[in-house]
Amino acid sequence: MEHVVRFPGGSPPPVGPVLAHLVECHFPVQVRMIDGELTGPGERVPDRWQEVRLGTPGGMVTIIRRDDGVAVVTWGNADEAMQSAWNAVAWAFAATGGGQILGLAGPVSPEGFRVSASLPPEMRR
């Protein structure tokens, strides 16, 4: 499954501020892979990346850079916790970068997505 997040000008925000935003919302994430290479604790994501894999409490979420934004990807058989983590990462990218998440009914603002999507309990506080 994938969420597509588009940004003004097409460029996504740097990954660091997106991760910081998630942590501020009490949702811990760790970078596990950058462009197919395993990462160490606290390793910084370079400005030019193509694929980043994040470890979340619900499981692994993959972010793929596209010409017009990012795709946030998870397995089609993801359980509720995994889908919540997937939604949280998509929301954080949109919120941090001023983007919109493309839904079946068209683009959705970060706030519209936040109130309609299933998010982790930590983020509903």
The answer to the question of residue 59 being in a domain is yes
Q: Number of structural domains, the chain? A: 1
The answer to the question of residue 125 being in a domain is no
The answer to the question of residue 123 being in a domain is no
CA separation for the pair 17, 70 (Å, rounded): 15
pLDDT at position 105 is 79
Structure letter (DSSP) for residue 27: -
Distance of CA 67 to the CA centre of its chain: 16
H/E element, 45: none
Query: In which domain, by residue range, is 62 found?
Result: 2-118
pLDDT at position 125 is 59
The answer to the question of residue 88 being in a domain is yes
Instruction: Render each residue's pLDDT in the chain as its tens digit; 125 residues.
Output: 999 999 998 889 999 999 999 999 999 999 999 999 999 888 899 989 999 999 999 899 999 999 889 999 998 889 999 999 999 999 999 999 999 999 877 899 999 999 889 999 888 75
pLDDT at position 4 is 96
- Which residues are paired to 105 by β-bridges? none
CA separation for the pair 45, 31 (Å, rounded): 8
